[in-house]
Structure 1
Amino acid sequence: MNKIVKIALVVLGLISAVLWYFLPGSEVPAGEAAESAAISGMFTITFILLGIAVAVSLVFTLMNLFTNPQSLKKTLIVLGSFLVVLVFSYLLASGTDVNLDEMANRGIATTETTVKRIGTGLNLFFFLVAIAIGAMLIGGVKKMTNK
């Protein structure tokens, strides 16, 4: 398996080097350069490598998660806590914070549901920031008091 990966990386490296050679120069307008086959090929290679990296990391994470029951328990607790914060954020969002008629006059078609979802996202962000700051403060205080 290791040999196959090395061969694949060498092949991708050679293809990338050839594509690099055929990249358009700085004198080519940006619109034309963006449509060149070399740039499209480079993006394709990048997306393939990114997809492989995400898939492999996800597979190994899930394998580790399910082979270690303690880790699975902690993960489920964190996910449950996140869902509680999400529901709380949703309940606090009103959806009537914005004058919908004024938004429509400006050419921004929106609904009360959209405003409520945006409010939920903002509330969730602020709660998670507060939780992160609180966790850092608690960790810092514990370190200072243990010495």
Structure 2
Amino acid sequence: MNKIIKIVLVVLGALSAILWYQLPGRDVPASEAVESGAMNFMFIITYLLLGFAVVVSLVFTLKNLFANPKSLKKTLMVIGGFIVVVLISYVLASGTDVSIEEMAGRGIETSETTIRRIGTGLNMFFLLVLIAIAAMVMGAFKNMSNK
């Protein structure tokens, strides 16, 4: 299996080097450079490698997660806490922070739902920052009290 992976990586490296030299030069307009077949194939290779890395990472992470029940319980608690933060953020977001008519007057089409989602994201950010600060302060006090 290891030899197969090395062979595939060498082939992909050689193919990428060939495609690199076929890329358009600096004097080619951007509109034409985007249409380059070499560039498209390089993006395809990048997406394939990224997809493979994501799948392998997820498989090994889930395998290790389900192998240890204690870590599974801790992970589920963290996910539950994150869902609670999302729900609190959504409840705190009003959706009326910005005038929809004023946004439409500026050429930005939006709705109350969109404004509420943006508010939810901002509230989540602020709550998670507060939680991170509290965790760092608690950890610092715990370390000081242990010494």
Same topology, TM > 0.5 = yes
- Residue 6 of structure 1 is matched in structure 2 by 6
Runs of 4 or more consecutive aligned structure 1 residues displaced over 3 Å after TM superposition:
none
Deviation of 1:5 after TM superposition, in Å, equals: 0.5
- Residue 33 of structure 2 is matched in structure 1 by 33
Q: Distance in 2 between matches of 1:29 and 1:110?
A: 35
- Residue 109 of structure 1 is matched in structure 2 by 109
Q: Distance in 1 between matches of 2:83 and 2:8?
A: 41
Q: Which amino acid aligns with 2:138?
A: I
- Residue 18 of structure 1 is matched in structure 2 by 18
Q: Distance in 1 between matches of 2:121 and 2:58?
A: 25
What secondary structure, in the 3-state scheme, does the structure 2 residue paired with 1:80 have?
helix
- Residue 125 of structure 2 is matched in structure 1 by 125
Q: Which amino acid aligns with 1:4?
A: I
Q: Distance in 2 between matches of 1:29 and 1:111?
A: 39
Residues 25-80 of structure 1 deviation map (CA, whole Å, 9 limit, x = unaligned): 22222221222111111111111100000000001111111111011100000000
Normalization by structure 1: what TM-score?
0.94
Deviation of 1:143 after TM superposition, in Å, equals: 2.2
Q: Which amino acid aligns with 2:43?
A: F
What secondary structure, in the 3-state scheme, does the structure 1 residue paired with 2:140 have?
helix
Q: Which amino acid aligns with 1:78?
A: V
Two-structure CA RMSD over aligned residues (Å): 1.1
Q: Distance in 2 between matches of 1:101 and 1:26?
A: 45
Q: Which amino acid aligns with 1:144?
A: M
What secondary structure, in the 3-state scheme, does the structure 1 residue paired with 2:4 have?
helix
Q: Which amino acid aligns with 2:74?
A: K
Q: Which amino acid aligns with 2:139?
A: G
Unpaired runs of 5+ in structure 2? none
Deviation of 1:146 after TM superposition, in Å, equals: 2.4
Q: Distance in 2 between matches of 1:77 and 1:20?
A: 47
Deviation of 1:140 after TM superposition, in Å, equals: 2.1
1:145 and 2:135 equivalent? no
Q: Distance in 2 between matches of 1:66 and 1:139?
A: 28
Once the two structures are aligned, what percentage of the paired residues are identical? 67
The number of residue pairs the alignment matches comes to 147
Q: Which amino acid aligns with 1:71?
A: S
What secondary structure, in the 3-state scheme, does the structure 1 residue paired with 2:83 have?
helix
Normalization by structure 2: what TM-score?
0.94
What secondary structure, in the 3-state scheme, does the structure 2 residue paired with 1:103 have?
helix
